[in-house]
Chain A
Amino acid sequence: MESHLISNGIVLVMLFGTAATIWAVRRSRLWSSAFVSLWHRRRLALLVTAVYVGVALLDSVAWVGGDSLGGDTVSLHEARSVIDRVFGGSQEKSYSAPLATTEFYGGRGLRYPGGHWLGTDMIGRDVFYLTLKGARVALLIGGLTSLIAIPLALLFGISAGYFGGRIDDVVFFLMTTLASMPGLLLLIALIMVMGKSTLAVCVALAVTGWVGFCRVSRGETLKLRELEFVSAARALGVSEFQILTRHILPNLMHLVIITFVLMFSGLVLSEAILSWLGIGVDGSWGQMIDQARNELSRDPIVWWNIAASGAALFGLILAVNFVGDALRDVLDPRTVKDEK
C-alpha cells in the first residue's frame, strides 16, 4: 500500500535531479551550447523522450479516494494516479481489436464500444491504458538504476585507475569481487533473495549494472594517467583532486554519456528478460510482451497487445539511444573537432 509513496518520492528526486541538471547546463556556456546543438540534431528524439517522461510523471502522482473503477470496490482503498483516473476502469470481458465495437472472438457487444484505441487484452483490460502505465515503470527502472550505478562506478573506477597502489588494491578487490559474479545471474539472485519488488529490481540492477562501466573507466583512467598532459600537470604540482576533476573526469565524460545511454536502454531491456523469468516489475512492457507472446500464434492473430508494448518499449529505447548518440557527438571534443 505504501509502495506508491516510495515510487513517487523516487520520481520526485529524479525530477529535482533533472531540474538541477538543467540549472547547471544553463550556467555553463559549453554545456548550454552543447544542449542547443543537441536540440538541433535530435529534436524529435528529445520530444519523444519528453513525452515518455511526462506520461510517467502523470502516472506517479497518486492518491487514495474518488469513485470506484467499474464496480471494483477494492480500488477505493488503493492509491490511483492521474493516468488511472483518466484512462482506467474501462474493463471488458475479453479480447477486442483496436477501436472495435464487438469482442474479437464471438462478437459480443462491448461495454465501451469503440473506446479502446489499442484494443483490450485477454481478460478485457484496455491495452492503451496498460501501455501508458508501462512508461512509468520503464523510466523508474532505467533512470533510478542509472543514477545509482554511474556515480558509484565513476568513483570506484577513477580511484582505482588513478591512484593505484593500496587504494587500487582495495577498490579493485571490492569491484572485482562484485564484478566477477555473472551479471544476469547475480541480478536474479539478488532479486530472489530480496524478494520480488520494484525497488529490489532497481537495486539489483544498480549493483550489477555499475560493474561494466567501472571496468571501462578504470581502464581509461589507466590510459589517461600515462598521457603527457596528466604527467605535466602532476609535475607542475597541480593537486590530485584537481587533476581528477579537471583532467581525468572530463575526459571520461563521453564515456559516462555513452554508458548512461547504453545502460538505460540495457536496463529496460533486461527488465524484459526478468519479466520473462517471472521476476520482473509488475506492469512493465516486458511483462506485457511476455503475456502476449503466445498471442501471435493465435488464429486469427491477436497482434495489438504485443505490438503496443513492443512499440512502446522500442520507441523509448530508440529515442534514448538517438539522444545518447547525439549527446556523444556533441560532448566528445574529439568528434567535434573532427567535424569542423
Chain B
Amino acid sequence: MNLKSIHSGARGLGWIALWALALLACNNNPYPATEGDEKVLYSSFREAPRSLDPAVAYDTGAHAITGSVYDTLLEYHYLKRPYELIPGLATNLPSQRPGDPGYTVYRFDLRPGMMYENDPAFALDEPGRTTREIVAADVAFELCRLADPAVNSPVVEPFSNIQGFQDFGQALTQRREDPAFADLPVQDQYASLGGISGVRSVGDHGLEVAVRSDYPQIQYWFAMPFTSPVPWEAVAFYDGQEGRPRFADHPVASGPYRLDQYDRQSRMVLEANPNWYGAMHPEWAAPGAVYPSEGAPGDLEAGLLAPEWVGQSLPFIDRVEFRREKESIPYFNKFLQGYYDAAGVIKESFDQVIDEGGLSEEMAEMGIRLEKGVEPTIFYIGFNLDDETVGRPGGGPARKLRQAMSLVVDSQEYTRIFTNGRGIPAQSPLPPGLFGYDDGYENPYRQVDLERARELMVEAGYPEGIDPATGKPLTLSFDTYDTSAQGMLQYRFFTDAWRQLGINVKVEATNYNQFQEKVRNGAYQIFMWGWVADYPDPENFLFLLWSDLARSKSGGPNTANFMDDRFDALYLSMKSRPNGPERQKEIREMRQILEVERPWIELFHREDYALFQGWLENVKPFGMSFPMTKYRDLDPAARASHREDWNQPVVWPIWVGLALVIVLIVPGVVTFMRERQ
C-alpha cells in the first residue's frame, strides 16, 4: 500500500513536469508561426459590420472593409493638407459644364481596361466568365441603387441633388406595385425606367452626372464607396438564396484589396486584389496606384516621402487580418505585445502611455509612435424635438427645460473623467480646424451654472424638477446603445447632473442596431451621438440640424428633429457660398439660433491619440474614416524580432509552484505514514 501511494505521487509529479514542459514549448503568439515574415497588417474589429453593401455601409467599422475593397472615381491625396481630391478610377478630376438651369453637369472618364476581381457571379451574363471590365454603367447602376427605396441607403439626401434622383426612387416604388414588374431582376427594373435622368453613361467609359449647382460638395461623395462601380451580376447572384451569401456579406471588389475571408464571429481577411488596375497596369502610374511624390510641409522630415516609396506602385501590404476583439483591454495588451500594429490609447492605460501630452518613456523605448490631433468630430447629447415634453410641442417651457439641462452638463469634467481629458469642450457643432470655428466663442448655455439652471426650471414650470401633472420629479428617458457597465457609469454622470435639477432621467439601453431602429422610429427623448465629418466643410456639420433632414420627416441624420425656418434659410445660403466673411457671418447667426434653441448639448470634439508600432511605415493619420491601407508599409523582420523580445515567457513561477506543491505534499505524506504506523 505504502509503496503504491508513493508511486502515484511520483506519477503526479511527472504529470506536472509534463505540463511545465508543454508550457515552456508554448508561446503567446496568436498567429501561426509561418506568418512571421509576411507583409500582413494586423487589425481588429469589435462588432461585425451590419452590411458591406457600399450603398448602405456608413460606419467606420464597415468602411474599414468597403473602403479597401471598393474603389472610387475620386480619392483623397494621402499626404496633402488641407485635403485634396485626386482621380482614382477616373482619369482626371471631373470637368464641369452648365446643364439644365440650376444644374451643373460633371463629366467623369473611367480608365479603360480595369477589371473586377475574379468571382463566379460574372458567369451569370456569360457562362465561364469570371471577371469583366469596369464600365461607367456600373457607376450609374450603383447610383440607381442609392435611389432605390428597397436598398434603404442612409445617404439618399445628399444624392437627391442629382437631377431626377428622387423621381427615379418614386417611380420605382410606383411600378413595383405591379407584381410582374416587382419580380423582374433589379437591373431590368432600373433599365426599364431608363435609369436616373441626370445620370448618363457615354460609351463604356464616360459618365455624366447633372447635380444642382448649389451643391458643389457632391464631388466629395465620389470619393466615398457609395459611388463605387458595382457589377449588376454581383447584386443579382448574391441574393441569400440556396446557400449563396447576401450581397451585403459578399463584396465584389474593384479596389486594391479583396475580401478573402469573412467570419462575422471572429475574423475578416483582406488580400491584395491581383485584378486591381494598379496591380495589372503598373505602367499607367495612375495617381491612385502609386505612392505620392509630394505632400504637406513636414512630411519630408517625417520620412513620409522617402525615396524607398515615392513613385512605387501600391499596395505595399499583401494582407490585412482583422480579428474580433470584443474587449478593449486584451486588444491593447496584445498591441503592447506587438501583435497588433496600431491601436488607440485606451483610457485604462492612458497614464502608462501618455506623459504630459507626449509618449511616456517606456513606450518611446519600445519604438511606438504617437500621432494626435483634434478630429473633425462632435459628440453631443441631443433632444428629440418632436417629443412632447422636451421638444417643440412643449414650446417655450420645453426650451427653458433644455437650456436648464444644458447648463448643468460639465464637458470639461466629462472629458476629464471618461476620456482622460482627450477632447475639447464643445461650444457649438463646429470643430476646430474647420472654416467657421471661432476660438473665442463661449456659449452661455455651455458654462456650468446650477443657480441659473434652477431658475430656468422654475420658469419652465418644473420648480425643483416637480412635474405639476404628477406631483413627482419629471421623468425622462435617455436612450442608448451602450449596455456595458462602464457605459452605465457615463450615463450616470449625466443623470446625476440632471438630478441636481430634480429631473429623474432613466437610462434605456439596447444594442446598437436596435438603438438605430428606435431612432429611425422616433421612439426616444434624449440620446447621445457623435458625428465624424464625411468631408472637411462646415456644411457637413450644420446639415445635421437642417429641417429637411429631420429623422421624423425624411429619415435623415437630423436625429434631434430640429426644424427652424431662419436656420434653414441661413443654411441654404451658407451651403453654396465660398469661404469668406459672408459665410462666416451666416455661420455665426446659425450658432446664435442653436445657442438659444438648444437642440443639442454639445459635449466635446474628440482628440485622437493613435499609437503605431515602429515597424509600421508611412503612417499619416487621416482624420476621416477612410482606410488608407494601400499606402502603408511595414517591416516584418523588425516586427518579428520585437515580438520575440517583448514576449519572453516568465517561467520561474512554474518552479516556485512545483516547489510549493512538494513542500505541501511531502510533509503530509510523512505525517500520514507516521500516524498510520
Contacts and interface: CB of A to CB of B under 8 A. Distances in A.
Question: In the complex, is A directly touching B at CB under 8 Å?
Answer: yes
Interface of A: 71-75, 77, 91, 93-94, 105-106, 121-123, 275, 278, 287, 290-291, 294-295, 297-300
Given A72-B496, A73-B465, A73-B499, 8 more contacts: A74-B504, A77-B473, A91-B496, A94-B416, A94-B417, A278-B485, A297-B348, A298-B348
B492 interface: yes
Nearest to B501: A73
A300 B349 CA distance: 9
A299 B349 contact: yes
B417 A123 contact: yes
A122 B414 CA distance: 11
Contact of B500 (A73, A291, A297, A299): A73
A214 B78 CA distance: 68
A291 B351 contact: no
B489 interface: yes
Interface of B: 328-329, 332-333, 348-349, 351-352, 413, 416-417, 450, 464-465, 472-473, 483-486, 488-489, 492-493, 496, 499-504, 509
For the complex of A and B, list the 6 residue pairs with the smallest distance between their C-beta atoms, beginning with the closest: A299-B352, A73-B502, A291-B485, A297-B348, A290-B485, A72-B499
A298 B350 CA distance: 8
B416 A123 contact: no
B473 A291 contact: no
A74 B349 contact: no
Given A93-B413, A94-B416, A123 B489 contact: yes
Contacts of B493: 123
Given A73-B501, A294-B486, A93 B417 contact: yes
B92 to A, nearest CB: 51
A127 B537 CA distance: 47
B500 A72 contact: yes
Contacts of A297: 329, 332-333, 348-349
A75 B473 CA distance: 9
A294 B489 contact: no
Contacts of B351: 105, 298-300
Contact residues of B: prevailing secondary structure: helix
Given A73-B502, A291-B489, A297-B329, A278 B483 contact: yes
A299 B473 CA distance: 40
A291 B488 contact: yes
17 contacts: A71-B450, A73-B464, A73-B465, A73-B501, A73-B502, A74-B504, A91-B496, A121-B489, A123-B493, A123-B496, A278-B485, A287-B485, A291-B485, A291-B486, A297-B329, A297-B333, A298-B349
Contacts of B464: 73
Nearest to B484: A278
Nearest to A288: B485
Contacts of A74: 465, 473, 499, 502-504
Contacts of B413: 93
A74 B465 CA distance: 8
Contacts of B483: 278
A299 B332 CA distance: 13
A93 B450 CA distance: 16
Contacts of A123: 417, 489, 492-493, 496
Contacts of A275: 485
A121 B502 CA distance: 23
Nearest to A287: B485
Contacts of B328: 294
A322 to B, nearest CB: 21
A122 B485 contact: no
A298 B349 CA distance: 5
Nearest to B475: A74
A34 to B, nearest CB: 29
Contacts of B333: 297
Given A74-B502, A290-B485, A291-B488, A106 B416 contact: yes
A122 B348 CA distance: 11
Q: Give the residue among B351, B488, B499 with the most A Cβ atoms within 10 A.
A: B499
A168 B500 CA distance: 60
Contacts of A300: 351
Contacts of B416: 94, 106
A123 B416 CA distance: 11
Contacts of B503: 74
Contacts of A121: 489
Q: Give the residue among A105, A106, A275 with the most B Cβ atoms within 10 A.
A: A105
B644 to A, nearest CB: 24
A69 to B, nearest CB: 9
Q: Give the residue among B328, B332, B488, B509 with the most A Cβ atoms within 10 A.
A: B488
A159 to B, nearest CB: 42
A271 to B, nearest CB: 14
Q: Give the residue among A73, A94, A106 with the most B Cβ atoms within 10 A.
A: A73
A186 to B, nearest CB: 21
Contacts of A295: 348
A297 B345 CA distance: 13
Contact of A77 (B329, B450, B472, B500): B472
A75 B464 CA distance: 12
Given A72-B499, A74-B499, A105-B351, A122 B473 contact: no
A72 B464 CA distance: 10
Nearest to B490: A123
A27 B472 CA distance: 50
